Amino acid sequence: MSTMESDGSQTATISTEHTLFTFASGHKSRILKIDGANLAASETVVLRVYSPVRTGGTIRLIKAVPFTGVLAEPNCQLPPLDTYPTGYATLQQQNGTGRVFEWEVVTLD
């Protein structure tokens, strides 16, 4: 079972890493999801999650996944990731025309 923690939409500026959400509470397993239906052929968007290894540690990249082109399965998501409240999730469109991406972060109960 999962609980929606935050959601929204982001209009991408090419090559800019947009912070979608800063984790607000607790040591939790979180899933970052976006709707990639607006991507065109050869366009790439990268989803990233950053978090420390332990409370008070240095925030570092824990997962980066690119999605490219017209997607047969446009509901894109990262696997559940163990995160702390100082972490955050980002989206970066690397090329093409800046697209609008709906997004959601859920926590696993």
**pLDDT computed for residue 90 by the predictor:** 98
**pLDDT tens digits for range 73-86:** 999 999 999 999 89
> Rounded to 5 degrees, what are φ and ψ at 24?
-95, -20
Query: How many domains, the chain?
Result: 1
- Residue 3 binned pLDDT confidence (cut-offs 50, 70, 90): very high
Q: Is the pLDDT assigned to residue 6 strictly greater than 90?
A: yes
Q: What residue numbers bound the domain in which 16 lies?
A: 2-108
Q: What is the pTM of this model?
A: 0.94
Q: Is the pLDDT assigned to residue 107 strictly greater than 90?
A: yes
**pLDDT tens digits for range 15-45:** 999 999 999 888 999 999 999 999 999 999 9
* C-alpha span between 106 and 29 (Å, rounded): 8
* C-alpha span between 41 and 71 (Å, rounded): 9
CATH classification at residue 35: 2.60.120
**pLDDT computed for residue 30 by the predictor:** 95
Mean pLDDT of the chain: 95
Residues constituting the chain: 109
